[in-house]
Structure 1
Amino acid sequence: MGRTWLCGVAAAAMTVAAAGAAPVALARGHAGAVQADLILHNGHVLTVDRRFSVASAVAVKGDRIVAVGGEGLLARYRARNVVDLHGRTLMPGFIDTHLHPAPIKPSDIAVASATSMAEVQAMLRDKAHALGPGQWITGYGWQEANLAEKRNITRADLDAAAPDNPVLLVRAGSHSAVANSLALKLAGIDRNTPDPAGGLIEHDTGGEPNGIIRESYGAVLRLIPQPGWDVMKPATVTWLKSILALGITSFHDASGSIDDEPYGAGGPKPGEQGLDLLGAGMTFRRARALYAEMGDSLPRVTMYISYPGAERLKAFPHHTGYGDNRVRLGAIGENAVDGGFTGPTAWLLADYKGQPGFRGKGRFTDAQLQAMVDTAARAGWQLGLHCIGDAAIVQTVAAYDKALGTIPDPAHKPADRRWFTDHFTILPPVATMQTMARDHVMIAQQPNFLYNLEDRYTQVLDDWRLAHNNAIATPVKKFGLFMAFGSDNLPVGPLVGLYAAITRKGPSGAVHGAEEAVSRAEAIRMYTANGAWLSWEENQKGTLEPGKLADMIVLPFDPLTVAPEALLKGKVDMTFVGGKLVYDSRTRG
Structure 2
Amino acid sequence: MPNLILYHGKLHTQDADYPDATAIALRDGRILAVGRDSEIRALAKTDTEEIDLEGRRVLPGLTDSHIHFYDWSLFLERIQLDDVASLAEVQELVHKTAKMTGPGEWVIGQGWNEESWDPPKMPTRSDLDAVAPDHPVIIWRKDLHLASVNSLALKLANISGATPDPDMGVIERDEFGNPNGILKELAINLVRDIMPQPSEMLIDNAMKNAMMKIHQLGITGVHDMRIMGGEDGPPALRAWQRLRDADEVRLRALVMLPGELLDQAVSLGLQSGLGDEFLRIGGIKLFSDGATGARTSWMLEPFADGGSGMPLTPMNVIAEKVAKADKAGITATIHSIGDRANRELLDVFSEVIGKNENQTSLHGRHRIEHVQHSHPDDLGRLGPLDLVASVQPLHLVEDISMVDKAIGDRGQWTYAFRDLLDAGTILAFGSDCPVSSPNPFLGIQAAVTRQRADGTPAGGWYPSQCLTVEEAVHGYTMGAAIAAGVENDQGSLTPGKLADLIVLDQDIFSIPPLEIAKTQVDKTVFNGDVVFDRLS
Same fold (TM over 0.5): yes
Structure 1 runs of 4+ off > 6 angstroms? Answer: none
Q: How does 1:495-510 map to 2 (within 5 A)?
A: 495-506=441-452, 509-510=456-457
| 1-structure distance, mates of 2:405, 2:216 | 34
Note the C-alpha offset of 1:118.
3.8
Cα pair distance change 1:209/1:215, threshold 3 Å: same
**Is residue 372 of structure 1 aligned with residue 317 of structure 2?**
no
Cα pair distance change 1:94/1:409, threshold 3 Å: farther
Which residue in the other structure is 1:469 paired with? 414
Which residue in the other structure is 1:235 paired with? 206
Note the C-alpha offset of 1:254.
0.8
Which residue in the other structure is 2:523 paired with? 574
Which residue in the other structure is 1:19 paired with? none
For the 8 Å contact 1:229–1:280, the answer to whether it is kept is: no
Which residue in the other structure is 1:271 paired with? none
Which residue in the other structure is 1:61 paired with? 27
| 2-structure distance, mates of 1:77, 1:106 | 43
SS of the residue aligned with 1:308? helix
Report the identity percentage.
31
**Is residue 169 of structure 1 aligned with residue 139 of structure 2?**
yes
Q: Which runs of 5+ in 2 are unaligned?
A: none
Note the C-alpha offset of 1:156.
2.6
**Is residue 78 of structure 1 aligned with residue 44 of structure 2?**
yes
For the 8 Å contact 2:295–2:308, the answer to whether it is kept is: no
Cα pair distance change 1:452/1:51, threshold 3 Å: farther
| 2-structure distance, mates of 1:568, 1:475 | 24
Q: What residue identity is the alignment partner of 2:401?
A: D
Cα pair distance change 1:147/1:250, threshold 3 Å: same
Note the C-alpha offset of 1:110.
2.7
Cα pair distance change 1:280/1:117, threshold 3 Å: farther
Note the C-alpha offset of 1:452.
2.1
Which residue in the other structure is 2:242 paired with? 289
Range with bigger deviation, 243-252 or 147-156: 147-156
SS of the residue aligned with 1:495? helix
| 2-structure distance, mates of 1:507, 1:203 | 37
Tell me how large the CA RMSD over aligned residues is: 2.5
SS of the residue aligned with 1:78? coil
Deviations 1:30-89 (A, max 9, x none): xxxxx3111111111111224782421111111111121222135422152111111111
Cα pair distance change 1:473/1:52, threshold 3 Å: farther
Which residue in the other structure is 1:247 paired with? 218
Which residue in the other structure is 1:326 paired with? 278
For the 8 Å contact 2:95–2:131, the answer to whether it is kept is: yes
Cα pair distance change 1:320/1:74, threshold 3 Å: closer
Which residue in the other structure is 1:442 paired with? 388
| 1-structure distance, mates of 2:196, 2:130 | 23
Which residue in the other structure is 2:106 paired with? 136
Note the C-alpha offset of 1:322.
0.8
Q: What residue identity is the alignment partner of 2:159?
A: I
Cα pair distance change 1:156/1:571, threshold 3 Å: farther
Q: 1:482 aligns with which of 426, 438, 449?
A: 426
Q: How does 1:51-200 map to 2 (within 5 A)?
A: 53-78=19-44, 80-101=48-69, 102-104=72-74, 108-145=78-115, 150-191=120-161, 193-200=163-170
Which residue in the other structure is 1:267 paired with? none
SS of the residue aligned with 1:48? coil
Which residue in the other structure is 2:6 paired with? 40
Which residue in the other structure is 2:264 paired with? 312
Which residue in the other structure is 2:368 paired with? 421
For the 8 Å contact 1:302–1:327, the answer to whether it is kept is: yes
For the 8 Å contact 1:103–1:235, the answer to whether it is kept is: yes
Which residue in the other structure is 1:3 paired with? none
Counting matched residue pairs gives 526
Q: What residue identity is the alignment partner of 2:15?
A: D
For the 8 Å contact 1:256–1:282, the answer to whether it is kept is: no
| 1-structure distance, mates of 2:390, 2:450 | 18
| 2-structure distance, mates of 1:140, 1:462 | 28
Deviations 1:267-313 (A, max 9, x none): xxxxxxx9326x88421x43133123134x61110111111345422
Note the C-alpha offset of 1:234.
0.8
Note the C-alpha offset of 1:186.
2.5
Note the C-alpha offset of 1:157.
2.4
Which residue in the other structure is 1:454 paired with? 400
TM-score by length of 2: 0.92
Q: How does 1:216-231 map to 2 (within 5 A)?
A: 216=186, 217-231=188-202
| 2-structure distance, mates of 1:173, 1:129 | 27
SS of the residue aligned with 2:165? coil
Note the C-alpha offset of 1:530.
1.2
Q: Which runs of 5+ in 1 are unaligned?
A: 1-34, 258-273
| 1-structure distance, mates of 2:472, 2:358 | 31
Q: What residue identity is the alignment partner of 1:229?
A: E
Q: 2:183 aligns with which of 199, 213, 218?
A: 213
Note the C-alpha offset of 1:148.
6.7
Range with bigger deviation, 169-178 or 132-141: 132-141
| 2-structure distance, mates of 1:256, 1:53 | 40
Deviations 1:380-417 (A, max 9, x none): 1111111111111112122222221321464438xx86
| 2-structure distance, mates of 1:281, 1:571 | 33
Which residue in the other structure is 1:341 paired with? 292
Cα pair distance change 1:409/1:234, threshold 3 Å: farther
Note the C-alpha offset of 1:532.
0.7
Q: What residue identity is the alignment partner of 1:498?
A: I
| 2-structure distance, mates of 1:311, 1:525 | 34
Cα pair distance change 1:343/1:380, threshold 3 Å: same
Note the C-alpha offset of 1:106.
9.8
SS of the residue aligned with 2:492? coil
